[in-house]
Amino acid sequence: MHVEPKKDYYEVLEVPRDADAKTIKRAFLKKARTLHPDVNKAPDAEERFKEVNEAYAVLSDDQKRANYDRYGDPSGPGGFGSDYVDVSDIFGGGGFGFGDIFDSFFGGGAGRAGAQARTRGRDMGIRLTVTLEEAASGCKKTVAYTRLAPCEDCGGTGAAEGGRARTCERCHGTGRVVEVQRTIFGQMQTQATCPVCHGQGQVIDHPCETCEGQGRAPSREKVEVQVPAGVHSGQTITVSGKGEAGVRGDASGDLVVSVEVAESDRFERRGDDLFCTVRVDALQAIVGTSVTIDGIMEGEHVTVEVPAGCQFGQQVVVERKGMPRMGMIARGNLVAVVQVETPTDLTKKQLLDVAALVAERSLDAEPDAKAGAEKDAEAEGFSAAAENAAEHFAKERWHAPRNPFRSRK
């Protein structure tokens, strides 16, 4: 499949790199209008509209534009905690067609025959990344994004001071006009969206300059989002009314926050269970021990009871110390995977004690068939070897001793 290289955002909008916000906005509106499906029947019109939309989303946002200029990527070198995405990305495009995106900028019925002029704001999507700890305890997060918000200059009415809405003279308030075209088949009548009021049926005497009579304008917004405890990646939180503002005071869409839970260094999440590793010394593994670790909740200490005779890789389950189950008091389990480590810091005496133990176990393992005298000799040999070992360990610098008991056969 042939993939086009990503186009430069400035080239897409055909603006100079030092263009100011107003120039960018005008260029965007102009471009977007020429790509209107009524006007532009080219098969790539939708694709191009998306490009224009994406370019505008970046270049109209000071921070993203600065990042784009500097790094060639709107999210910057490290990225932000959240970023603007079209809601259709999150939902795989289902239910949010081209028309919806287009309409939200122009408030028109976009010429779909018989469609009611759409003036409600559309829903918007945004991604939010939280740590596993934040997902466990639940948290409040502030997300920043750019939306079409009610215009501050005109209070969302779209009219400048002294201006007012009146019925569109061109379409007499219907929002549609009939056009007559001459074709080789004769005259053809087609219905189209009124070019004067863009399907609104009303025009404003003195439209507000800031919003060009839309009653809404791009604005950088901050919204606080309550992330519930136990949230999983991909779950969404809806903040009602924080999507795009409607045209001239009509209802706003919602902001749909899609939560991403980052991976943790300490725990691996499997459903609501948390897996981690605990290290215990081989001697502790033999007799059993308890290890206290920091839990997933702030200030939480979890005691892992490692049983006597614990093997490498054995799993010890601590019930109800995993992730909270969303919407419930219950929690998943914590599963500690035991890593047995051989101690390398024993004192000489401890080493001798272990050596004696090892020797004793190897003697016990000898078959009973041996004669008594032979056994006595063996025991004598053992104590001599132990003395040799003691001497060996007593030296100022000692090397890991060869097993003094193994040589005797």
Residue closest to 390 by CA, chosen among 379, 404, 378? 404
Minimum CB separation of residue 109 from Zn ion in Å reads 11
- 323 and 308 in contact (C-beta within 8 Å)? no
Locate 49 and state its tokens.
Answer: 């509209």
Kindly state the tokens that stand for 198: 């863009």
**In the complex, least distance from residue 4 CB atom to Zn ion, rounded to whole angstroms:** 37
Footprint (CB under 5 A) of Zn ion, residues 141-160: 151, 153-154
Tell me the C-alpha distance between 324 and 330, whole Å: 6
DSSP assignment of 322-387, as one string? SPBPTTSS-B--EEEEEEEE--S---HHHHHHHHHHHHHHHHHTS-TTS-HHHHHHHHHHHHHHHH
CB of 154 to Zn ion, least distance (A): 3
DSSP bridge pairs for 318:
334
Q: Taking the complex as a whole, how short is the minimal distance between the CB of residue 32 and Zn ion, in angstroms?
A: 18
Contacting Zn ion within 193-232 (CB under 5 A): 194, 196-197, 208, 210-211
The one among 35, 55, 128, 171 contacting Zn ion by CB under 5 A:
171
Which CB sits closer to Zn ion, 194 or 310? Answer: 194
Interface with Zn ion includes 168 (CB under 5 A)?
Answer: yes
Segment interacting with Zn ion, rule: CB under 5 A, options 17-25, 167-175, 295-303, 378-386: 167-175
Q: Return d(Cα 196, Cα 325) in angstroms, integer.
A: 55
CA 206/CA 160 separation, integer angstroms: 5
Residues in 301-340 at the binding interface with Zn ion, rule: CB under 5 A: none
Does residue 165 belong to the site contacting Zn ion (CB under 5 A)? no
Cβ nearer to Zn ion, comparing 202 with 314: 202
- Tell me which residues in 39-78 interact with Zn ion (CB under 5 A): none
Give the alpha-carbon dihedral of 25, 30, 31, 33, to 10 degrees: 120
Residue 170 binding Zn ion, by CB under 5 A = yes
Q: Does 169 bind Zn ion (CB under 5 A)?
A: no
Asked if 128 interacts with Zn ion (CB under 5 A), we say no
Footprint of Zn ion (CB under 5 A): 151, 153-154, 168, 170-171, 194, 196-197, 208, 210-211
